[in-house]
Structure 1
Amino acid sequence: MIGKTFTTMLGGKELSIETGKLAKLVSGSVTVRYGDTVLLVTAQASDTQSKLDFLPLTVEFEERHYAVGKIPGSFHRREGRPGEKAILSARITDRQIRPLFPKGYRHETQVIITVLSADGQHLPDVLGPIGASAALSLSDIPWAGPTACVRVGQIGGEYVVNPTAEQLTHSRLDLVVAGTRDAVMMVEAGAQTVSEEDLVGAIEFAHREMQGVLDLIETMRAEVGREKFNFMVEMDLAKDYVPEIAEKARAAGLRDALLTRGKKDRSVKTKALRDAVIAEYVPDPLAEGAAELTTTLKHAYAKAEQQELRRLILEDDLRADGRDSKTVRPIWIEARPLPTAHGSAIFTRGETQVLGVTTLGTERDEILIDDLTEETGDKFLLHYNFPPYSTGEVKRMGGQSRREVGHGHLAKRALRAVLPSFEEFPYVIRVVGEVLESNGSSSMATVCAGALSLMDAGVPLRAPVAGVAMGLVMEGDRYRVLTDILGMEDALGDMDFKVCGTAEGVTALQMDIKIGGITPQIMREALAQAREGRLHILAKMAEVLAAPRPELSPTAPRILSLKINPELIGKVIGPGGKQVRELEAMGAQVTIEEDGTIRVFSASGEAAEAVKARIEGLTKEAKVGEEFEGTVVKIAPFGAFVNLFPGQDGMLHISQISEERVSAVEDVLNVGDKLRVKIANIDDRGKLDLIRPELEGKVPLRAPRSDRGPRPERGGDRGPRGDRFDRGGDRPPRDRQDRPAEAPSAESVSASAPAERTE
C-alpha cells in the first residue's frame, strides 16, 4: 500500500495526516484531511547555505478553485496572485514555525500549502500550520518542532474546538492558537468584546486540546521521520569582541546615548559613539582587512547595545525614551483635519502618527471576494498604508506588502466588532490608515485613528475602540512586560502582543513570540497591563471625540431607505430600465433588492428626497377608506376618472358626483378640476371606485363589483364576433350614426363602466 496514514480525534472529529503517497521527491510532504477539507503541505530546503544574514523562510498558501468546484473569475480563468485570505493564512503558519528554526540556520526554506479540497465548513487556515509542522518534522530540515494549531469559538458560554464556518457565525470569539508541548507560540483573535479572563481561558483550552495533535506528529516522526542534516554556522567573530566593546561603550556614555529622547537624535548619538569606539580598533579604514574588521565590530557593538537596553529595562525599569514599563507615550489628537473627507482624524502617540480617513459609499462599492469561501462581498474595508517616509527611509514602492495586509486585517477585526449592522446604517464603509510617522505600534495607532475618523463621519459605533502594543523582555526567570513599545523594543524584545478593545473588553488580539513560548501567567499580566494602557488611550480620545457625531458629516452622502411591495419593483425599474435611469438622472444612485428594499444614495440630500418621493409615488398602493385631493383627467358618460397620485386613477360614478341627479357629467365636472375623493372599493382587478366624502351617507353607494353579478353574456344568435357584417340573413349593416340615441340604463352603465376605464 502506498503511503501511511496517522489519525487522531480533534474536537470530536477525525484528523488524518498521510505521508509517502504524494509529492515524494520533496524533503517533507503530508496530506492533511479534516472533514472533506484536504490540504497538501510540502517543506523543502536548499542544499547550500545562503549568504543572507537572516532566516530565508517563505510560506505560500495556494488556493485552488477546483477545491470547491469553481472556475476562477479572472480574465485568464486561472488562479493569480494570492488574495487577502490566502496571505493571512500563510502568515498564521509562518508566525508559528519561524521561531523554532535553529540560530544561524541560513538555508533557503520553503513551505507550500495547497488546498486540494474545501468543504466550506472545516476551514483550511488552521490545518495549514498542522501540515507544515508535520512536513517539517518528517523532513531532514533542522527544526525544533512539532507545533500544533487550533481554532476556538465561544458559543452559549462554552468553548468549541475548530468550530465549523456555520458555527462561527454564532460565536462571540474567533481565536486561533498555535503552540508547542509546553508553551503558546502565536495567538490571533477577533471577538465581540470579550473579557481578558475569557481570552486567557480560551487560550489555555486551546493549548490543552492541541496536545493530541502534537502526540500524533511525534508518533509520525518516530516511525517515518528522516534524520536532520547538519548545517554550518558561520563563525561569529563578533561575539569575542562584545564584552570589550560593551565595556568601552559604557565608559564612553552608552547609557546616556540610549536614553536620548527622540528616535533621530538617539540614532545620531549612538552611531557617533559606535564610530568612536570602532576607531580605536581600526585607526586606518583603508588598511588591509579594515573593512572586514569594521563590519565585525559593528555587529559586536549592536549586540552590546541590545544587552545594555535589556539590562536597563530588567534592572532599572527604564526604557530608551525615559519611560517606565507601564507608561504610554504622550498623545495628541485632531479631529476632522481634512475639509472634504467624510470623516478624518490624526492620532499621534509619541513618534508614531496615523491619519485615519473614513469614506461612505453604496452597496455598489462593496468589495467582491473570489476565494474558496461562500462570501460574495464585504461592506467594510480597511486599508493600512506604510510608506517608506514614515520611517525616514527611501525604498521602492510597489504593491501592498504582506505586512500591510496583516496589520490592516488586525485593525479591521478590531473595528468591525463595534460597527452598526447594514440594516441600521446602510453604507459601505472604507477606512484608510495612512502611517505618517512610525516608531512602533503603527497598527494600533491605525485602530485609534480609524475609530476617531468613523465617529467624526457620524457612523454610530457601539463604543470607541483603542489599541496598544505590548512587549516582553525575558532573561531566565526574570521578565518585564512593556506597554506601548517602540520600534527598537519590538526588535530587541521577546514578544509582540497587540491588544485592541473597548472599555468593556477585547475586540481583537495578535501575539507573536520570539522565544520558546510564554506561560499563561505572563499572558494574564500582559492583558491586564494592556487594559490599563487601553483605558488611558480611550480617555485621551474622549477628550477630543467621546462619541459619534449626532449627524452625518456635511460632506457625507445621504442614503434614504424605503420598502415597497416586491411585486411593484417592475414599476421602479421600468421597461428596459428606463424608469430607474430617469430616477438616477435626478442626481442619485438607486439600488433595489429582491425583497423590495430600495436605497437612494446621493451627495445631495435634496436630490435623495426628490428621488425617494418619486419612487413612493410610483409604488404607492391605494387602500379603501383613504382620501385624496384628486384631479379629473377624463370624462365619460357614466362618470369621471380622477387621478389620485402618479400612476393611479379611480372612477367617480355619475351617481356619486352630486346629491342632486346629474344628467351629464360635464354639467358638474371638467378635466383639470380638483376635488376631494375617498376610495370606497377596490375590485379584484385593482380598479378603484370613488365617492365624495361630503356626500357619504347622503347618496346611495354603488354595490361593489363582486356584488353586481357577472357581466351579461352576448346572445348566441348574433353570429361570430369576428365579422361585423355577417349578422345572419340578407339584412345589410346599418351605420351606427343612423341609430337613434338612447339613454343608457343604470344597469347597462354599471355593467360597462369598469371595462371602459383607462388608467
Structure 2
Amino acid sequence: MKHSVTVEFGGRPLTIETGEIAKQTSGAVMVRYGDTMSLVTAVAMPDVRPDTDFIPLTVNYQEKFYATGKIPGNFFRREARPTDKETLTSRLIDRPIRPLLPDNWHYDTQIIATVMSADGENEPDGISMIGASAALMVSDIHFAGPIAGVRVGRVGGELIANPTPDQMAESDIDLFLAGSKKAIVMVEAGAQEVSEQDMLDALEFGHKAIQPVLEAQEELARKVNKPKREMPEVIDPLTDEDRSKFEGLVAEGLNKALSTTDKIERYANYKIAKKAALSQYSEEELAEKGKALKAYFDELKAKRMRGSIVDEGKRIDGRDLVTVRPINIEVGLLPRTHGSVLFTRGETQSIVTATLGTSDDEQRLDQIEGMFFKRFMLHYNFPPYSVGETSFRLGPGRREIGHGTLAERAIKAVLPDPEDFSYAIRVVSEITESNGSSSMATVCGGSLSLMDAGVPIRGAVAGVAMGLIQEGDKTAILTDILGDEDHLGDMDFKVAGTENGITALQMDIKIEGLSSELMHKAMEQAREARMHILGKMNEAISAPREDISPYAPRITTIQIPVDRIRDVIGSGGKVIKEIIAKTGCSINIQDDGSVSIASSVPENTEQAIQIIKELTREAELGMVYKGKATRIVDFGAFIELIPGLEGLLHVSEIDFGRVANPGDVIKEGDEVVVKVVEIDQQQGRIRLSRKAVLYMDPEELPFQEPVPPTEPPAEFRAKLEEDAERRASRGGDRGGDRGGRGGPRGGDRGGDRGGRGGGSRRR
C-alpha cells in the first residue's frame, strides 16, 4: 500500500512516499523536493554475519545523468566509478546513521540513494539523507532515529535553510548538519572566516529547521507500521567472576601501558598485557571465552583512559585537557618543489607540498549539474607506514577523500581571486606519522606550503581536533586529541580557521548528541588552541614569499580584441599549436580576450607575447606597413598588412602616374610598402597608399609609425607633368619616355628616377 507525507521544509514542500517502488527491499522511499527526487532503499540480509564484531553497514549515493537530461561524457557513455562528490555524500549519510544502529547489529546492511531527477535549485544530498533515515524508519531494521539533514547559508546576515545555488554563491557560510529531535549529531561546514558565535547561530537555526521533517518521518513510520525484526539474544560468555579475574590479570600491564606516552611503546605494552593475561587460560577456555576476553580488554582500556580524563584531568600522554602537543615546522624542505613544509605535532607528521600550474592543469568535473573546472585541489594521502602497518590497497579510500576535502575547504577561503592569481594550485599532504589529527596537520602544512610557494593567501590557516569524554554527569572536552582519544572518545570535532574566524568545521558524535552549551565550550576551547598554533606557524613563516618559485611557471596575461581570438587560434587550432611548439609556452585564451601565457623561461614568454601581438595588431591611421599582395584586381590590389588583416591599395594610390593595369606594377606575393590613409570603422575597410611612401628610402622608413605625406622630388614633378601632356597627345604611348615602362621593369627605370633602380624599391 502506498503511503506519503508532505511537510513544509525551508519554505518549500517536501514529500516522502513509500509502498509503490522497490517493494522487495527492507524499506524504500522516494523523496521529492521541488523537481529533485531521490530513491533511497535500505536492505538488511535475513541472517547475521558470523564472527562479526562491527556494524556491517554500507552506504552508496549515486547521481544519474538522466536526472538532468544528460548523457555521460566518458567513453562508454554510462556512469562509472563513484565521483568524489558521490563518495563524500555517501560518507555524509553514513556518519550520522551508523551510531544509531544497535551495537549488536551484525546483519549485512546496505543503503543506496539514487538521484533520479535534479532541478538545479534543490541539492539532492540533503533529501537523500532524509530518505535514508525514512527508509530505515519504515523498515524492519532497528534504528534509533529519525534524523534529517539541512544545508544552511547566510546572505546579507540572514540565515537560509536549503539555499539555492545562486544564494550559496553569495553566502559566507556553507553548513550541512544532521540532527535528531534532541541534538545535532553531525556537522560539515565551510565559511569565510566567520566568528564562533555566527557558526553557533547557524547550527541552532539548522537544528530548528529539521524538526518538521523528523515529525513527518515518524508519521510515515506510523502509517506503514512495519514491525522491527527479532534479533537473536546476545549471550555473554563471561560471568562476573570471569571479568573480575581477567581485570586482575591485566591491571598491572594495562596501568603501565596507559602511563606510557610514546604511542609505539604504549601499543606494545597493550599487547604484552593482553598476551600475559590470556596465557593464564587453557586452550579450552580460550576457545570458549577468548574472543569475549579480548573484547573485554578493550572495554577496560577505554574505561581506564576515560576515567583518568574525567576524574583526574589527565591524559595518556601526560597532558592536561587544553594543552596542544609540541609543534615543529621546517619550511622549504624539498628543493625542487614550488613550496613545501614538514609539519610535526606530537606524533603526527606530514610533508605537504604546493604545486602551481596553468589553467590547463585545472581539474575537469563532469557532473549532472554540468561541466566545471576546479583550480584548487588538495589531496591527502595516508600510507600504511604512517602507523607502522602494511597494506596492498592502491588509490585513495573514502577516508582519504573526506580528509582531503575538509582540508581543502579550510584553505580555500583564504586563496587569492583568480583575477589576481591565475594559477591552478595543487596541495598534496603525505602523512608520514599519525597519532590523531592528521587532517588538521594537513590544514596547517597546506597553509605553510602555499606561503612557501609565494601564493598570496589572505592569512595563515590552522586546524585542531577536539574530543569529548562523557561519563554520567561528568564531561571533559579535549584539545588536540590522540588516536586513542578519537577511537575511545565520544566526539571528533575538527575546527580550522584564521586569526579572524572559522573557515571549516567537521563534527561526528558517537553519543545521542551534543548540547548547545557543550558546543559553545568546544568552539571556544578550539579557538584558543587555533591561536596558539597560528603563533607557532608565524614563527616559521609569517607571510607569503615575495615571489613564486623559480621552478614554477610564470603566467603573464595580455588582452586581445575578442574578434581577433580566431586569428590566434587558427583553423582547427593550427596557429596556437604552432606558437606553443615554437615557444614551449602554455597558452590559454578566454572568451573575453584575455590570454594567459605560462613558462618558466621569461624569454619564451616574451617571444610568445610578441607573436600574439603581431597576429592581433590593428591597422592604425598614418602607419606604414610592409605587407604582402594577396590578390590583384582591376581596381587595385589587396595587401595583407598583418596575418588576417587586409587593406585595399587602389589603382590610383599605386603610383603618381596613371597605372592602367595594377598587375603590371604589383604581382601576387610581392612585398609592398604601404601607408594606411583611411579606416572606415563602420564598414571595416582599410584604404592604403603606395605612392605616399614611394620615394622614401626603404632603409629609413619608420615602419609602423605615422609618417607625413610624401611627394616626388621637384625634378620629377615637371617630368610627370610633361608625361601627362604627352599621353594626352599620343593616346597613351608611354613606354619609351618612362624608361621602358611598357616592357620588363628593372634597373632601366632608375635613370629617369634619379638613379634608384626599380629592383631595390620595396613593393
Q: How does 1:281-430 map to 2 (within 5 A)?
A: 281-282=280-281, 284=282, 287-430=283-426
Contact 1:42 1:135 survives alignment (8 Å): yes
Deviations 1:498-530 (CA, angstroms, capped at 9, x unpaired): 111111111111100000001011111111111
Distance 1:353 1:601, change over 3 A: same
Which of 607, 610, 616 aligns to 2:607? It is 610
Matches for 1:172-571 after TM superposition, within 5 Å: 172-238=172-238, 240=240, 241-250=242-251, 252=252, 254-279=254-279, 281-282=280-281, 284=282, 287-571=283-567
Map of 1:728 onto structure 2: none
SS of the aligned residue for 1:206 comes to helix
**Partner Cα distance (2:709, 2:377) in 1:** 64
Match of 1:596 among 593, 596, 608: 593
SS at match of 1:142: coil
Q: Is the 8 Å Cα contact of residues 490 and 511 (structure 2) preserved in structure 1?
A: yes
Letter in 2 for 1:606: E
Q: Secondary structure at the match of 2:95?
A: helix
| CA positional deviation for 1:248 | 4.6
The whole-number CA distance in structure 2 between the counterparts of 1:578 and 1:697 is 33
CA contact (8 A) 1:139 1:225 kept: no
How big is the shift at 1:60?
A: 0.8
CA spacing shift, 1:155–1:632, aligned 2, 3 Å: closer
Any gaps of 5 or more consecutive residues in structure 1?
635-640, 664-672, 703-733, 745-757
What is the CA–CA distance in structure 2 between the aligned matches of 1:39 and 1:633, rounded to whole Å?
Answer: 65
2:8 — aligned with what? 9
Unaligned stretches of 5+ in structure 2?
Answer: 630-637, 659-670, 712-730, 742-761
Amino acid of the structure 2 residue aligned with 1:559: I
Q: Find the residue that maps to 2:284 and give its secondary structure.
A: coil
Shift of 1:460: 1.1
Match of 1:716 in 2: none
Displacement of 1:649: 9.8
1:23 aligns to what?
A: 22
Closer, same or farther: CA 610–697 of 1 in aligned 2, 3 Å: closer
Tell me how far 1:238 sits from its aligned partner.
4.7
**8 Å CA contact 1:238, 1:300 repeated in 2:** no
Indicate the residue corresponding to 2:748 in structure 1. Answer: none
2:84: which partner in 1?
A: 84
Question: Aligned pair 1:137/2:137, yes or no?
Answer: yes
Rate the CA distance shift 1:609–1:698 in 2: closer, same or farther, 3 A.
closer
Q: Compute the displacement of 1:421 (Å).
A: 1.9
The reply on whether 1:71 has 2:68 as its aligned counterpart is no
| DSSP 3-state at the match of 2:337 | coil
Whether 2:168 is the aligned partner of 1:168: answer yes
> Residues of 1 paired with 2:210 and 2:733: CA distance?
96
**2:621, 2:706 within 8 Å by CA — same for their partners in 1?**
no
Q: Measure the CA separation in 2 of the matches of 1:418 and 1:572.
A: 35
Matches within 5 A, 1:670-749: 682-684=679-681, 685-687=685-687
Q: Which amino acid in the other structure matches residue 423 of structure 1?
A: E
Comparing 589-598 and 431-440, the one that deviates more: 589-598
Further displaced range: 576-585 or 91-100: 576-585
Q: Counterpart of 1:528 in structure 2: which amino acid?
A: E
What is the one-letter code of the residue matched to 1:458?
Answer: G
Q: Counterpart of 1:21 in 2: which secondary structure? A: coil
* d(CA) in 2 for partners of 1:105, 1:367: 41
Identity %, equivalent residues: 48
> Residues 616, 473 of structure 1: CA spacing in aligned structure 2 closer, same or farther, 3 A cutoff?
same
Cα distance in 1, alignment partners of residues 644 and 11 from structure 2: 62
Task: Kindly state the Cα deviation for residue 174 of structure 1 after the two structures are TM-superposed.
Answer: 0.9
Secondary structure in structure 2 of the residue aligned to 1:421: coil
Q: Relative to structure 2, which stretch is displaced further, 92-101 or 263-272?
A: 263-272
TM-score (norm 2): 0.84
Task: Tell me: CA distance 1:467–1:699, structure 2 relative to 1, closer, same or farther (3 Å).
Answer: closer
Contact 2:381 / 2:430 at 8 angstroms: preserved in 1?
yes
Q: Look up the match of 2:49.
A: 50
- How many Å separate the matches in 2 of 1:134 and 1:632? 75
- Mapped contact 1:239–1:300 kept (Cα < 8 A): no
Please give the secondary structure, in 2, of the residue aligned with 1:231.
Answer: coil
Q: 1:39-78 deviations in whole A, cap 9, x for unaligned?
A: 1111111111112110000111121111111112222222
Change (3 A) 1:513 1:390: same
TM-superposed CA distance for 1:700, in Å, is 8.0
Per-residue deviation, 1:346: 1.3
CA distance in 2, matches of 1:389, 1:152: 39
Q: Secondary structure at the match of 1:261?
A: coil
Aligned to 1:726: none
Partner of 1:119: 119
Q: Give RMSD over aligned pairs.
A: 3.6
3-state SS in 2 of match to 1:202:
helix
> Aligned-pair distance for 1:388?
0.8
One-letter identity of the residue aligned with 1:33: R
CA distance in structure 2 between the aligned counterparts of 1:582 and 1:597, rounded to whole angstroms: 19
Contact 1:28 1:139 survives alignment (8 Å): yes
Q: Deviation at 1:299?
A: 2.0
The answer to whether the 8 A contact 1:177-1:187 is kept is: yes
Q: In the superposition, relative to structure 1, how do residues 633 and 28 fare at CA in structure 2: closer, same or farther (>3 Å)?
A: closer
Cα–Cα, structure 1 residues 580 and 312, in superposed 2: closer, same or farther, change >3 Å? Answer: same
Distance 1:403 1:459, change over 3 A: same
What secondary structure does 2:21 align onto? coil
Structure 1 pair 576/40, CA: closer, same or farther in 2 (3 Å)? closer
Instruction: Find the residue that maps to 2:202 and give its secondary structure.
Output: helix
Give 1:587's aligned residue: 584
Indicate if the aligned counterparts of 2:628 and 2:641 stay in contact, CA closer than 8 A: no
* Kept after mapping to 1: 8 A contact 2:45/2:107: yes
Question: Residue 301 of structure 1: CA displacement?
Answer: 1.9
Q: 1:420: how far off? A: 1.4
Residue in 2 that maps onto 1:59: 59
Alignment-mate amino acid for residue 592 of structure 1: I
CA–CA distance in structure 1, aligned partners of residues 15 and 529 of structure 2: 43
- 1:242 to 1:472, Cα distance in 2 relative to 1, 3 A: farther
Residue type of the alignment partner of 2:28: S
Could you tell me which amino acid in structure 2 is paired with residue 209 of structure 1? Answer: A
